Structure 1
Amino acid sequence: MDEILQQVGGLVLGSVPTMVLFVLLVVAYGLLVRRPLDRVLAERRARTSGAVEQARGAISAAEAETEAYENKLRAAKNEIYQARDKKMKQWIAERDAALAEARLATQAKVESARQEIEQGAAAARQQIEGATAELSTQILKAVLPAGVEVAQ
Structure 2
Amino acid sequence: MDQILNQLGELVLGSVPTIVLFILLVAAYGLLVRRPLDRVLAERRARTTGAIEQARRAIAVAEAETAAYEEKLRSAKAEIFQMRDKRLKQWNAEREAALAQARQHMHDRVSGAKQEIEQSAHEARLQIAGVSEELSSRIVSALLPVDVRATEVAQ
Q: Structure 2 length as normaliser, TM-score?
A: 0.85
Percent of aligned positions that are identical: 66
**Quick check: 1:70 aligned with 2:70?**
yes
In structure 1, give the amino acid aligned to 2:130. G
Shift of 1:30: 1.0
Q: For the residues of structure 1 that align with 2:92 and 2:133, how far apart are their CA atoms?
A: 61
Once the two structures are superposed, residues 56-85 of structure 1 have per-residue CA deviations (whole angstroms, 9 ceiling, x without a partner) of 322332232223222212211220121121
Q: CA RMSD in A?
A: 1.9
Query: Any idea what SS the aligned residue of 2:74 has?
Result: helix
- Indicate the residue corresponding to 1:7 in structure 2: 7
**2:99 is matched with which residue?**
99
CA distance in 1: counterparts of 2:47 and 2:133, whole angstroms: 127
Partners of 1:7 and 1:139 lie apart in 2 by 183
- Cα distance in 1 for residues equivalent to 2:74 and 2:133: 88
1:38-117 matches, within 5 Å, as 38-117=38-117
Unpaired segments of 5 or more residues in structure 1? none
Name structure 2 gaps, 5 residues minimum: none
Higher relative contact order (CA 8 A, sep 6+): 1
The alpha carbon displacement at 1:48 in A equals: 2.2
Alpha-carbon distance in structure 1 between the residues aligned to 2:38 and 2:14: 35
Name the amino acid aligned to 2:119.
Q
For residues 72 and 51 of structure 2, the distance between their equivalents in structure 1, rounded to whole angstroms, comes to 31
Q: Which residue of 2 aligns with 1:27?
A: 27
